[in-house]
Amino acid sequence: MKFMLIGALLALPVLADSTDDAKRRADDQKRIEAAAVTLSEIMHAKDSGIPQDLMEKAHCVGIIPSLKRAGFIVGAKYGKGVVTCRVHDSNRWTAPSMIILEGGNIGFQIGVGETDVIFTVMNQSGEDKLMKDKITIGADAAGMIGPLGRETQAQTDALMHAEILSWSRSRGVFAGVSLEGASLRADNDDNRALYGRDVRQQEILHGGVMPPPEARAIYTALDRYAPKSYSRN
């Protein structure tokens, strides 16, 4: 009896970890599904939205879905989402990595209701920096407010050199938004829960992890709105 009690007590931490991972995985799956809906809705906008040619050139796309709508507890400058990158030399997209965006001058729309944030990583330099566990936009990676419209047309020097472009949608209003000073980091605990092992963001975004079924809707939208290959720059 004594040994059975000791065994049960020793098993409690394992059971607690298993329950926590199961809850995290369920939340991750909801977040991926919400991100897919967000991307599809924004890209379906007829008159304004993320320019098609920028999506076609993007190395990586990140989506922080409306946390209120998705049922997550957030602060005015804190959100969880996903990011996926193109596999090198192809138009295939990697499995999504769970990410956390927090702090910084995220803009007036954050914290005034349902808010979505989308960002695109536009060149190889930005993609390389994204592979780190944590970066600060504006300090580690050059950020810029994303332009609106179906096509950008004018290739300004700023657009050509920006590593990260960003937009937000709040209460139906879609606009470019500044992420200056915000930190972007991998959610390693959520990634472990989703993929069943400790996995670094670099491995996920280099195509070393099989995508979960929930990511199919994101790929459908990306394949429609970002189908072209790009030159590595």
pLDDT of residue 147: 84
pLDDT of residue 106: 62
Other C-beta atoms closer than 10 Å to the C-beta of 113 total: 12
pLDDT of residue 231: 52
Residues of the chain short of pLDDT 70, as ranges, are 1-18, 45-48, 66-77, 89, 104-114, 150-158, 228-233
pLDDT of residue 95: 96
* Contact yes or no for 1/36 (Cβ under 8 A): no
What type of residue is 226? A
In a domain, 83, yes or no: yes
pLDDT of residue 73: 41
The C-alpha angle with vertex 229 and arms to 56 and 232, in degrees rounded to 5, equals: 100
Q: Are strands 164-170 and 115-121 parallel, antiparallel or unpaired?
A: antiparallel
In a domain, 10, yes or no: no
Distance CA 83, CA 90 (A): 17
Task: Give the three-state DSSP class for 116.
Answer: strand
Q: How many domains does the chain have?
A: 1
Pull the structure tokens for residue 175.
Answer: 């606009």
pLDDT of residue 69: 38
pTM of the model: 0.83
Distance CA 161, CA 159 (A): 5
pLDDT of residue 103: 74
In a domain, 144, yes or no: yes
Q: Which domain holds residue 161?
A: 19-225
Q: CA dist 4 to 9, 13, 152, Å?
A: 9, 16, 68
pLDDT of residue 35: 92
* Contact yes or no for 33/217 (Cβ under 8 A): yes
In a domain, 7, yes or no: no
